[in-house]
Amino acid sequence: MTAPLRLGVAGLGTVGVGVVRIIRSQAALLSARTGRDIRITAVSARDANKDRGVNLSSYAWESDPVALAKRDDVDVFVELMGGTDGPAKDATEAALDAGKDVVTANKAMLAIHGQALAERAEALGRAIRFEAAVAGGIPVIKSLTEGLAANEITRVMGVMNGTCNYILTRMENAGLPYDAVFQEASDLGYLEADPNLDVGGIDAGHKLAILSSIAFGTRPDFDGIELEGIQRITIDDIRQAADMGYRIKLLGVAQRTGRGLEQRMQPCLVPASSPLGQLEGGTNMIVIEGNAVEQIVLRGPGAGEGPTASAVMGDVCDLARGLRLPTFGQPAATLTDAPSARAVLPAPYYLRMALLDKPGALAKVATILGNASVSIDRMRQYGHSDSTAPVLIVTHKTTRAALDDALAEMQKTDVIASPPVALRIESV
């Protein structure tokens, strides 16, 4: 048996503690499956005295993660601190420069700095592995880089933030408004310290940028993603979608078009009978479509100690076996810049608006849609309240550009009480 693989773990939160527990409880299994022992030699975190529920006394302690990354008794630097810049990025770069491989769960760092880090790692003959950065315990990175390597990927989409999926399904199942479920999620500790990372779609957008890069051979481009969160979704939207056979999900979609790479993270309606439509609670789901494999669906827990630590250890095991791949599935120098494209493929849309209770208001809206070549498939008007009339419209397939033109014209009129909500109805 070869020499042990020695880990330095920076960050001892939920995931870091999970990694410690797996290595301790599964030592024999890991050794049998990789051909060498896997050991933690040193750790780093903000507070050395915090009780984390595991005994860390057998590991060397470094208060500075950069110092940990440079230690001679560390072969693989495991970065579980998080953060786009600062200590996480500094320590990752220090580890690569010191000849270490890196395993990370840091989607924000990779979405923003992934190209530069990949180039640095590959120039130094090192590897960066990051299965835990996307969709928790679901092995989607390995699926794209290995199992589906022979496919030309045509579309990647999915539910990539369990907190948002929890909020939307809880609103539906309990009949509660957004604000009440948001507070409930906060009280349960489901939200990030900055809740907008979750409900604003930013966390999921980071994950989509990583998947897009691997799927389409492009440089990670978080800034090219159309981002829209779930804050404007109401319980009425959820009920009305259900009446039409749909459910609302914060859906990430990436696909190549004739105009460039389309990347969007936004609330969409999906058929309630589809795999995505049936997804409940904090579970994640990734759908991958390729020219040879057609469509596969990956479903599983998107966060939590066990699932995310499992993904970290999958990467560690690959490094223990000597498996090294380019960071984003192909050499960083071959990744291309793809022009960003807004959603250009036609799709039906769900529109919700509140019209002022004036004669001819609905006719005026219908005329504006018609003038923009947006045809109406279905329309419902609900009971009046406070001098407004809630109206729901489902369009036939149209482009977002045509719809935006119509929405802009509507807001110039004197019949719209508040800005309309427009949600794409996604084919799955």
Is 207 known to be catalytic? yes
Question: And the tokens for 153?
Answer: 């990927």
C-alpha closest to that of 112 among 67, 82, 154? 82
CA distance 121 to 81: 19
Phi-psi label, residue 53: left if phi above 0, alpha if psi -120 to 50, beta otherwise: left
Rounded Cα distance between 147 and 282, Å, is 26
Angle, alpha carbons 426-427-428 (nearest 5°) = 110
Q: What is the DSSP string of 116-167?
A: HHHHHHHHTT--EE-GGGSSTT--HHHIIIIITTTS-EEEEEEE--HHHHHH
What is the side-by-side order of every strand in the sheet holding 101-104?
60-61, 38-44, 5-10, 76-79, 101-104, 128-129
Residue 223 DSSP symbol: G
Neighbours of 135 (CB within 10 A): 32
d(CA 109, CA 140): 18
Any idea which residue has 């299965």 for tokens? 131
* Side chain identity, residue 62: E
β partners of residue 7 = 40, 76
Active site residue: 70, 107, 207, 364, which one?
A: 207
Whole-number Å distance between alpha carbons of 196 and 192: 8
At residue 227, the 3 state secondary structure works out as strand
For residues 40 and 18, is the Cβ–Cβ distance under 8 A? no
- Looking at the annotation, which residues are catalytic? 207
